[in-house]
Amino acid sequence: MPQLLVRDIETAVVKKLRRRAAAQGISVEEAHRQLLRGALLGNQAGPQDDFLAYLRSIPTGGPIEFPRVADRPRRNEF
């Protein structure tokens, strides 16, 4: 698969791309790919993008917390 290396990018641009990737829960590299696709191909979403968008649209009701039982220590076998 072809690769693209981009050099001499302003620090502010890199920071903003990292924040965008973190907010979407994806890698910086994937955020960069999506940004290029959107700019050059007009945001043509593929089947994987549609499925991920569907999964992200499912309401979860917030973080799920599981209570930890403190009186039973966990065994660690090495």
pLDDT digits (tens, 9 = 90+) for 9-44: 999 999 999 999 998 899 999 999 888 888 888 766
- Tokens matching residue 1: 């698969």
Instruction: Tell me, rounded to whole angstroms, the distance of Cα 65 from its chain centroid.
Output: 22
pTM strictly above 0.75: no
Q: Hey, CA dihedral for 49, 52, 57, 58, is it positive or negative?
A: positive
- The Cα–Cα gap between 43 and 53 comes to 13
